[in-house]
Amino acid sequence: MVTLTDIAAEKVRDFMKGQSAEGEIGLRVGVRGGGCSGFQYALALDQQREDDHVFDSSGIRVLVDPASLRYVSGSTVDFTESFMGSGFEVSNPNVVSSCGCGSSFRVAEEEPSCGASV
């Protein structure tokens, strides 16, 4: 399961108001390879696909593809605002290490890349 904080759900609702997509649209939470630690989060508004795992969080449809689910299961998506900027952040209990800038992560079952250590 992947959940959204109240403020993240509100921000997603605001973004969805500007969309004119047909079908079942929601927040896609996924991962892709990259970064110093091996994976990066991919968040986007998207249409539901046949094989997606779908979760309802604060009235928002959260879409996770089967390959990403093992990496993001149990995560919470938040939206933060500060003097340095604003954006979505993922709190993921599966992460065992992340890069210095915080843009990529590694889970226990994966080998570190770029010389990262546990």
- pLDDT tens digit string along 76-110? 999 999 888 899 998 888 776 666 555 556 666 65
Domains and CATH numbers, the chain: 3-107 (2.60.300.12)
Mean pLDDT of 7-31: 87
pTM of the model as a whole = 0.80
73/102: higher pLDDT: 73
Pairwise CA distance, residues 11 & 9, whole Å: 5
Q: Which pLDDT score is estimated for 33?
A: 79
Question: Is a pLDDT exceeding 50 seen at residue 47?
Answer: yes
Q: Is the Cα dihedral 16, 27, 87, 2 positive or negative? A: positive
For residue 75, give every residue at least 6 positions away whose Cβ sits within 8 Å of its Cβ, in sequence order, or none.
Answer: 2, 3, 29, 90, 91, 92, 93, 94
